[in-house]
Amino acid sequence: MIDTVIFDMDGLLIDSEPLWGIALREVFSTVGVNLSRELSHLTTGLRTKEVVSYWHNYYKWEGKSPEQVTTEIIDNVIAKIIAEGNPMEGLEYILSYFKSKGFKMGLASSSPLRLIDAVLAHLNIKDVFQAVYSAEFEDYGKPHPAVYLACARALNSDPLECIAFEDSVTGMTAAKAARMTTVVVPEPHNRKDIRYSLANMQLDSLLEFNDSKLALLTK
């Protein structure tokens, strides 16, 4: 019986993907790397250190270590979220919906825990979740299922009892690999990506989820 829901965070609960893109470009420019918006999308869903490692291996910059660049990016994103981070459409609705159904609720994100904490405080939703997990503490980040499996264990839920909400292909792959029923809410420019057909359900907004959608997932 499905009785658990686990959410991704960036791009699903908070409109942070544009802020991530700006922060990446700002910090990478300090080491002579000019990332276009298109290039920055290549690493969407990965852990920050993996994003930095990916581009460091490609551009071989000098002057700042990958660890320093990673820290600066996270600091930059946190500052931007606190200053201008907005909830995604339907955030309050979807959290209230599953709370009213008595679902166990968790969060599984690729972001570092200190950024997760900043977002949850900014949106005032920390108390909604019974478990909050960051992939920074796992051996592997998304698309590996580790962070989803860890969150499910913390909720005392079998992965087959969980619905995972995601916005990226990387995150969807992680949730599917964890054997969870998966709902994707892609960004508008990504909605026609055929890879999302692997999900159990695709929505344009969190507001579209309702009793009939839940029934389709649990029948």
Known catalytic residues are 8, 10
Question: Please, which residues have CB within 8 angstroms of residue 39's CB and are 6 or more apart in sequence?
Answer: none
Strands (E), the chain: 4-7, 104-109, 131-134, 162-166, 181-184, 201-202
User: What is the residue whose two structure tokens read 């995604």?
Assistant: 88
Element (H, E) at 28: helix 17-29
Query: What separation, in Å, do the N-terminal and C-terminal C-alpha atoms of the chain show?
Result: 10
CA 55 from centroid of its chain's CA atoms = 20
Phi, psi of 162, rounded to the nearest 5 degrees: -110, 140
